[in-house]
Structure 1
Amino acid sequence: MFGLVLPRQALLALAITAFTSTAQAALSSTPCPVINAGLPAPSKLSTLGSDSIAAAINSTQLQFLAASNGLSPYGTYEANTTAYAVEVFSVAANESLFTFSFNPPGLVDAHSVGVNNIATDTVFRLGSVSKLWTTYIFLVAAGDRSWNDPITEYVQELAQLAANPADQGAVDHVDWESVTVGSLASQLGGIARDAAMNPGLQSELESFGLYNAGGFNHTTCGDERMMIPCNRTAFFEDFPQQRPVFESYVTPAYSNAAFQILAYALENITGSAMSDLFDKHLVQPLNLTGTYYTVPPANVTANGMIPYNTTASWWNANALDESPAGGFFSTLDDMRKVSTAILNSTQLSPVLTRRWLKPHSFVADPRAAVGAPWELMRAPDSPGAPVSWMYTKAGDLGMYSSMVALIPELGIGFNVLSAGTDTTNTVEIVSDILAETWVPQIRAAALAEASAAYAGVYADASTNSSITVVANSSLPGLSVTEWTYGGFSVLDLLGQFEGIDSTQYIAVNLYPSGLKQASVSGNSSEVEVGWRATFQALPAASNFGPFSSSCIAWEVVSQLVYGGVALDEFLFTVDSSTGNAVSISPRVLAQTQTRSNEAAKRSETGRVGKMERRWVA
């Protein structure tokens, strides 16, 4: 009988060998990052990110000039009669990064009231961006505990409809018991779009002799211009006449009426009028000085952006009980305050914010999704960058359009306000320019900051171990290019036991988990920051089918566990005063390696060599 003595490096080899049966999936099938976990959002944009910001500003101004002359690749708009204003801001740095306004000569000469030159405190109508703020107010005032409850629990008129023993055929009558509070917020209620019929449209179609198949001739709301919203009594006289569009939770179907109903539910939950909740939970705590629930008082008109006049522009159109769906007014200054409060979880708990900032449904466009009431868009891609999502909400009403776009992963956002004859088109073109220009530059700033904070060689001389971490623009997250333990290459071990061939190498990328804690060492100036790794055998196979997808990183996080500790768990200890890492711990090894002054080698691949398993008798 032979005694078996296993040195430290052999123990590591044995541990990895034990993983072989599960490592096949964990290593060879994950050549992709973990979503929503790229690099930490940059917070030093005025220093480390200054070059990126300067480049973004210069490019944006040139593209705006080209767009006003009809030379933008994103399309053309009526630049002579359409005004707009934009602001790009950083949440972590708590600062405005860029503001710009365009005052078209044709509109300046044509309007009779309001401002000639747009400033950040100029008042615009928001249109359907109001839906976003209504949902935010709902969450601040009541949270999301009620979101899976039937709306009939909170709106008496709908409860009475559901209890009516008359014909309740599913095609002709909404099943209100299946419509939840959350389905209304996320456009999944399956109900009709607007509160009332359009009398103007009905009159026009009747003049052509079109048969009135619905037989409903009376409406208590609306005029020849528009479907003027209803007060509560009139709403429940008119709206139930409309048939359902879909069953709830089948597919998103845009509905203004959903947010009028949502506001009624919130009034019931809180016992307060929606206008009072708007003031209590939005205007006052965030110190909004140019934001209004409905048409502002007359003295505000002089500070408004009002194309032509208050009637033609719809400045003076009172949205009544549909204000929560599209009636709010605001400024760039105030929109930045609200957007920053959302991303900073100023009024909501961080976990509630994270729940809210998630998609609720797919749409036909694979680069888009629907939230509550977020309109999610894929952020512009760049080589090696992880998939990022922009949480947006657009609005249109009369001669006004608006856009809110938040990018939580990068800690930035932008707002766009427009007034004039071609606002929807203008906002889309301007937003395209902002996204395509600023997202890559902020990613570059994040990379520079992550490199300064984390890149380097970490070593423990007592065990002859080291880890080299780099920030590489062609790879997501941080990259581990060299990793030795007891003088042996961990990357080689992983490659050998994975059985990769000579054309492949093992890549290890690190992603922040968002988890932090005080240093267990008791050093009050240090904080421990959690990161997770993906282990990838690259290049990966191509031509995957739908069930052999190469992107399963999320399925194998913490899959390989030894002694209750995951192989992919890393811990950086960071100096709170500088934001720079001082050490790293691959926690499965129960070892801390200290950051040295040696520059990290910027190799894009890990080293793969031949190494024999060594057993010592």
Structure 2
Amino acid sequence: MACFAYINMIIPILLLRISILSRGSYAQTAPNCPLSGPVYLVPGGPITQTTAIPKAISTFNDSLNLGLQNGTLNVSNSSFHITIFSASETLFEFNHVAPATRDGLTSGTLDRNTIFRTGSIGKLLATYSLLAATGLRYINDPVTKWIPELAAASFENDVDTVRWEDISIKALASHLSGLRDFSIADLSLVYNASEAQQLGLPTLQKDMVLTCGTDVKLPACSRSDFFNQFKKLHPVTSAFNMPIYSNVAWQVLAYAIEGMTNKTFAEHLEASLTRPLNLTGTFLSPPPRTTTLNAIIPGNEIESWWALDAGDGTSSAAGLTVSTGADLAAIGQSILSSSLLPQPLTREWLKPVTHTSDLRVSVGMPWEIFRTELASPSASIPNGNASKENTRIVDLYCKNGGIGAYNTEMGLSPEHGFGFVVLTAGRPPTSGPDLRPATLQLLNRMITETFLPAFELAAQEQTAHRFAGTYASSETDGSSKMSLTLVAKDGGLGLGVYNWTEGGQDQLKSYFAAIEEGNVEELTQKPTLRLYPVGLFGGQKLAFRGVFELPGQGNVFSTDGMPPFRTYCASWSTVGEPTYGNVGLDDFVFEVDQSGRTIALIARGARRTIYKQS
């Protein structure tokens, strides 16, 4: 037994060593491969003082006006409000009133304080309020801990009944509960018995007909009615098996929140979000019609779904909330600045939970995460060669909402401190295709295609201003002189390191050879080194990490026809390696003074501090 135990212990150790050694290279051999995350510091301060953002605002404003003039945008049927913001500033607002909806403006005006129905934005409010109130304390609890009706539910088999104890709070909040919707878009509410029969649908028995639910034609369910009907649903799949978009999961989440907080969902939302953020136009259901109400109600209250009954408010978590451009922008800014949540929690929240069948789309809590390639701002390379465009992957954290006459989008780019809100309200056309959802998507594309590159350029501009220049050692200790040049506007990503020498020796070649455990003479290409911020600040220091690469053309992120295990971006797997005296050769720290002005660069692996000359 002792010998067998020893063998069982030693085999994993050997496998670990083989795994480490098999990586071979600590340098990134695929070209143009940055670390995940921002390649420049997130833009800060008065961002409108950069050249990129005012230009983008002007371009976008012109594009909107042109689209309204030439009919590219659905000018006659869809009214809309747009807000573009940074973490600390409202940068741009735009309002368009469509003729078909003008009579639906209760105050006669469309502005940042006009109330819209916002659909599934309620899912974002429910999740955010949960995190603000309880953090991640209960996130892995089974839902049965907080909802006695589900704890007492009977179970027959996995095909016919739900294993409620397998569904966690996290599963509910990330579309991984395996639950389908309840009462939403049920065809029995669309077609009468005769129409259903003509379509080949069976006749429903009396006990199969919905009597309450989330539909403008139904009264809201009481808690007991909801769970009595909800427990009869067949599962779509098991928990955490695959993402299944589920509205009803958030109503269940709202009931769980009531159990956690010992408050009604309305009281909880007021305490955790509405009051702390001073949201004046965000409610679980529409406010009363008064002479001072500033809202948009296309058509009548039934046609627009404005009058949808939210009952006890828990169904609003699924998608019945109302809000304004001003309030949604304030919510977005609070997320970008992490004003309500501790920063580690915000960072964890702004990460994918699962993927979808689309390579470009992942799912969070409750984020719809769109992955897109973003080109580096182009500029001339210092040695006079033509620049090439490098691209990187950027994740957009979005939440879409659609209900009745309304469509909404909130989008955030945490890597840029950038966000936007689009609220639309429209009436269906009297003839032809319904372009209302397409209007929202077109506006979303116009915004991201204009402002993502602009924020990247603004970030590059600010990073270049702070860090680009020549650095040199003082040689007061008798050591040989070390110097290098940092360039941000060279067509690459992050800060490019050029002319790094010590006592006449090319340090880039020397360090690359050391990393690869080879000889300088064997290098046939001149290596490159790019520095990227890693989000660590303190003691008047900012931490960066370097990625050593060999130059090359092509886009390492391309997935077209690319099977696994070909060339891929693996810089994440070699951060901090190899070490020299237990310090990574990729470890760089900027020293700044109290005003933020850069004083020096510490190359920790080289044990040298070099001072900014220009």
Q: Is the 8 A contact 1:195 1:229 kept in 2?
A: no
Please state how far the C-alpha of 1:478 moved relative to its aligned partner.
1.0
Q: State the match for 1:508 in structure 2.
A: 529
Shifted more, 137-146 versus 229-238: the winner is 229-238
Please state how far the C-alpha of 1:534 moved relative to its aligned partner.
0.6
Shifted more, 480-489 versus 337-346: the winner is 480-489
Q: Which runs of 5+ in 2 are unaligned?
A: 1-19, 376-388, 428-434
Please state how far the C-alpha of 1:553 moved relative to its aligned partner.
0.5
Q: State the match for 2:95 in structure 1.
A: 101
Q: State the match for 1:62 in structure 2.
A: 62
2:593 to 553, 556, 575: 575
User: Which residue type is aligned with residue 363 of structure 1?
Assistant: T
Residues 206/457 of structure 1: CA separation in 2 closer, same or farther (3 Å cut): same
Q: State the match for 2:390 in structure 1.
A: 384
Q: Which runs of 5+ in 1 are unaligned?
A: 1-18, 519-526, 598-617
1:585 aligns to 2:602 (yes or no): yes
Residues 451/131 of structure 1: CA separation in 2 closer, same or farther (3 Å cut): same
Please state how far the C-alpha of 1:289 moved relative to its aligned partner.
1.5
User: Which residue type is aligned with residue 390 of structure 1?
Assistant: L
User: Which residue type is aligned with residue 386 of structure 1?
Assistant: R
Q: State the match for 2:573 in structure 1.
A: 555
1:90 aligns to 2:86 (yes or no): yes
Counterpart CA distance in 2 for 1:428 and 1:405 is 12
User: Which residue type is aligned with residue 130 of structure 1?
Assistant: G
1:434 to 439, 443, 447: 447
Give the SS at the match of 2:588: strand
User: Which residue type is aligned with residue 460 of structure 1?
Assistant: S
Please state how far the C-alpha of 1:229 moved relative to its aligned partner.
4.3
Please state how far the C-alpha of 1:361 moved relative to its aligned partner.
1.1
Please state how far the C-alpha of 1:36 moved relative to its aligned partner.
1.1
User: Which residue type is aligned with residue 317 of structure 2?
Assistant: P
Q: Is the 8 A contact 2:214 2:310 kept in 1?
A: no
Q: State the match for 2:108 in structure 1.
A: 116
Task: Give deviations 1:24-79, integer Å, cap 9, x for gaps.
Answer: 34242464011113111111444641x2122212221222233335565xxxx532
Q: State the match for 2:486 in structure 1.
A: 469
User: Which residue type is aligned with residue 304 of structure 2?
Assistant: S
Please state how far the C-alpha of 1:575 moved relative to its aligned partner.
2.5
Residues 572/411 of structure 1: CA separation in 2 closer, same or farther (3 Å cut): same
2:287 to 271, 290, 296: 296
Counterpart CA distance in 2 for 1:509 and 1:214 is 68
User: Which residue type is aligned with residue 279 of structure 1?
Assistant: E
User: Which residue type is aligned with residue 572 of structure 1?
Assistant: F
Please state how far the C-alpha of 1:492 moved relative to its aligned partner.
2.1
Please state how far the C-alpha of 1:181 moved relative to its aligned partner.
0.8
Counterpart CA distance in 1 for 2:48 and 2:126 is 37
1:306 to 292, 297, 302: 297
Please state how far the C-alpha of 1:324 moved relative to its aligned partner.
1.1
Q: State the match for 1:606 in structure 2.
A: none
Counterpart CA distance in 2 for 1:29 and 1:586 is 24
Counterpart CA distance in 2 for 1:224 and 1:54 is 44
Counterpart CA distance in 2 for 1:35 and 1:237 is 47
Q: State the match for 1:35 in structure 2.
A: 36
Please state how far the C-alpha of 1:145 moved relative to its aligned partner.
2.3
Q: State the match for 1:194 in structure 2.
A: 182
Give the SS at the match of 2:208: coil
Equivalent runs, 1:154-553 vs 2, <5 Å: 154-161=146-153, 164=154, 168-195=156-183, 199-201=188-190, 203-204=192-193, 206-208=196-198, 210-211=201-202, 216-222=207-213, 226=217, 229-299=220-290, 302-320=293-311, 321-379=314-372, 381-382=374-375, 383-421=389-427, 422-462=435-475, 463-472=480-489, 474-496=491-513, 498=516, 504-518=525-539, 527-539=540-552, 545-553=563-571
Query: What is the percentage of aligned positions where both structures have the same residue?
Result: 32
* TM-score, scaled relative to structure 2: 0.85
Please state how far the C-alpha of 1:21 moved relative to its aligned partner.
9.5
Q: Is the 8 A contact 2:216 2:302 kept in 1?
A: no
Shifted more, 495-504 versus 271-280: the winner is 495-504
User: Which residue type is aligned with residue 502 of structure 2?
Assistant: Y
Counterpart CA distance in 1 for 2:326 and 2:214 is 34
Q: Is the 8 A contact 2:178 2:238 kept in 1?
A: yes
Residues 379/550 of structure 1: CA separation in 2 closer, same or farther (3 Å cut): closer
Q: CA RMSD in A?
A: 2.6
User: Which residue type is aligned with residue 202 of structure 2?
Assistant: Y
Shifted more, 546-555 versus 188-197: the winner is 188-197
Residues 117/47 of structure 1: CA separation in 2 closer, same or farther (3 Å cut): closer
Please state how far the C-alpha of 1:249 moved relative to its aligned partner.
1.2
Counterpart CA distance in 2 for 1:473 and 1:441 is 17
Please state how far the C-alpha of 1:379 moved relative to its aligned partner.
4.0
Please state how far the C-alpha of 1:218 moved relative to its aligned partner.
3.9
Q: State the match for 1:615 in structure 2.
A: none
Please state how far the C-alpha of 1:549 moved relative to its aligned partner.
2.7
Counterpart CA distance in 2 for 1:177 and 1:97 is 46
Counterpart CA distance in 1 for 2:501 and 2:525 is 19
Give the SS at the match of 2:290: helix
Q: State the match for 1:524 in structure 2.
A: none
Task: Give deviations 1:61-108, integer Å, cap 9, x for gaps.
Answer: 222233335565xxxx532011001011111xx111111111112322
Give the SS at the match of 2:315: helix
User: Which residue type is aligned with residue 349 of structure 2?
Assistant: W
Please state how far the C-alpha of 1:20 moved relative to its aligned partner.
11
Counterpart CA distance in 2 for 1:133 and 1:141 is 12
Residues 459/226 of structure 1: CA separation in 2 closer, same or farther (3 Å cut): farther
Counterpart CA distance in 1 for 2:583 and 2:32 is 23
Residues 510/374 of structure 1: CA separation in 2 closer, same or farther (3 Å cut): same
Counterpart CA distance in 1 for 2:204 and 2:161 is 16
User: Which residue type is aligned with residue 149 of structure 2?
Assistant: E
Please state how far the C-alpha of 1:234 moved relative to its aligned partner.
1.2
Counterpart CA distance in 2 for 1:482 and 1:137 is 51
Q: How many residues align?
A: 557
Counterpart CA distance in 1 for 2:588 and 2:215 is 65
Residues 283/78 of structure 1: CA separation in 2 closer, same or farther (3 Å cut): same
Q: State the match for 1:602 in structure 2.
A: none
